[in-house]
Amino acid sequence: MPPFFFAIDRFYSTDYTDVPCTIDKMEYKSFTPLSLITGASMHPVKFLLILLALLFIIPPPLQAKPLTIKFSHVVAKDTPKGKAAEFFKQRIEERSAGRIHIKIYPDATLYGDRAALSALQLNDIQLAAPSFSKFIDHTPQLQLFDLPFLFRNTEHLHRVLDGKVGKKLLQQASIKGLHALGFWDNGFKQISANKPLITPEDAASLKFRIMSSKILEAQFRTIGADPQILSFSEVYSALQQGIVAGQENTLSNIYIKRFYLVQSDLTISNHGYLGYLLVTNDIFWQKLPDDLKQIVSEVSTETTNFARSIATQVNGDYLNKIEASGKINIHHLTPDQRAVWQKKMLSIYPDFYNLIGEELIKQSQK
Ligand code: LMR
């Protein structure tokens, strides 16, 4: 017996165990749990002291290890997606009381977007939020969002995302091992080159970097330009070395990736939309306990709203920074000038009725 227990045992053995028992004492002695195990009778105070001693000596049961989720994305922290990812991490860790830990790999430090989708399907990572165009092999219908001049404004966009079209696309994306969690905003795209782009003809025969999307390819071909698919991390050097002459992206991406330093002219065209689908994989999702599934789903919705609340402001702030740098000429299209681009680009819609679904496109236009 350890010395401490021995001392307790000695102390109480003179007090009670050797004296004749009252009925009460008999009951105490008979029913202490330790006496049931050891077969010996024991005074309740002695029993409590032993219990207390055990609490100090025996280490607490091991805490379950937190579930670590790897989240890979390609942009910097100070962008709508980077901020949304940090918000998501913070809320999930808070709400799960530490049962889930999220490790974010921003700036393509782990995977580029399309590689991230393959890694996700293999459960090498558990979260990604690629832009819609990157789902071309998985859910080509998501290219709907690449259609130029589809959304009149953010309010229209959100109505489509929250309505039947958005729900249908979430279902369509939850196949081939992926589970779609929600849409995150970035914003409207602007176009830049090494010359002013005021009319679509200004872009003719120029090479433009595009994301991997059939619609973006058609959008540039219809204005006589030459689209080139490049991954996001290759764009700056391709512009710098003149491999491509221009590009389209949101203001946050144009500023953070310093595209404005290697282009002479930026046109504020708001001609297309860039947003993201937050996805996890089925292997991970099916194993997640129901209460954690609920937390992840609820925080995904919270993060959709968070991204919406900051995206316009973040992109606006970057426009101010680009302007303040004085490094690039900025052109704001007049409504008439914009209408010319719109007319040209809308002509590609019918070519995608089969791929995306005519009904889905027409519903989104309402
Ligand atoms: C791009 O490739 O231009 C974008 O998808 C990058 C991003 O994720 O915002």
Range 67-365 classified under CATH 3.20.20.60? no
Q: Is 279 in the pocket of ligand 1 (CB under 6 A)?
A: no
Q: Is 72 in the pocket of ligand 1 (CB under 6 A)?
A: no
Burial letters for 317-347: b for 16+ Cβ neighbours within 10 Å, e otherwise? ebbeebeeeeebeebebeeebbeebbebbee
pLDDT for 220: 98
Q: Is 314 in the pocket of ligand 1 (CB under 6 A)?
A: no
pLDDT for 65: 85
C-alpha 191 – ligand 1 centre gap (Å): 14
Which residue, by CA, sits nearest to atom 3 of ligand 1? Answer: 232
Question: How far, in Å, CA of 114 to CA of 108, rounded?
Answer: 11
Question: How far, in Å, CA of 120 to CA of 103, rounded?
Answer: 14
Q: Which residues contact 33 (CB under 8 A, 6 or more apart)?
A: 47
pLDDT for 29: 41
Question: How far, in Å, CA of 74 to CA of 235, rounded?
Answer: 12
pLDDT for 53: 57
Domain boundaries, the chain: 3-57, 67-365
Q: Is 143 in the pocket of ligand 1 (CB under 6 A)?
A: no
Parallel/antiparallel/unpaired status of strands 265-281 and 178-193? antiparallel
What tokens were used for 160? 């489509």
Give the total residue count for the chain: 366
Cα distances (Å, whole numbers) of residue 361 to 75, 141, 144, 162, 343: 29, 10, 7, 15, 17
Atom of ligand 1 nearest to the CA of 186: 9
pLDDT for 44: 61
C-alpha 90 – ligand 1 centre gap (Å): 23
Which residue, by CA, sits nearest to atom 2 of ligand 1? Answer: 232
Q: Is 169 in the pocket of ligand 1 (CB under 6 A)?
A: no
Atom of ligand 1 nearest to the CA of 252: 9
Give 168's DSSP letter: H
Atom of ligand 1 nearest to the CA of 231: 2
As beta bridge partners, residue 185 has 275
Atom of ligand 1 nearest to the CA of 73: 8
Question: How far, in Å, CA of 76 to CA of 364, rounded?
Answer: 30
Out of 83, 114, 211, 277, give the residue to mutate to test ligand 1, the one with the largest number of ligand atoms within 8 Å of its CB: 211
pLDDT for 45: 60
How many C-alpha atoms does 135 have within 13 Å on its Cβ side?
31
Ranges of residues in the chain with a pLDDT under 50 are 1-39, 60-61
Q: Is 129 in the pocket of ligand 1 (CB under 6 A)?
A: no
Out of 253, 273, 279, 315, give the residue to mutate to test ligand 1, the one with the largest number of ligand atoms within 8 Å of its CB: 253
Q: What is the pLDDT of residues 273-306, one digit of tens each?
A: 999 999 999 999 999 999 999 999 999 999 999 9
Question: How far, in Å, CA of 359 to CA of 285, rounded?
Answer: 31
pTM summary value: 0.82
Residue matched to tokens 């993060």 = 303
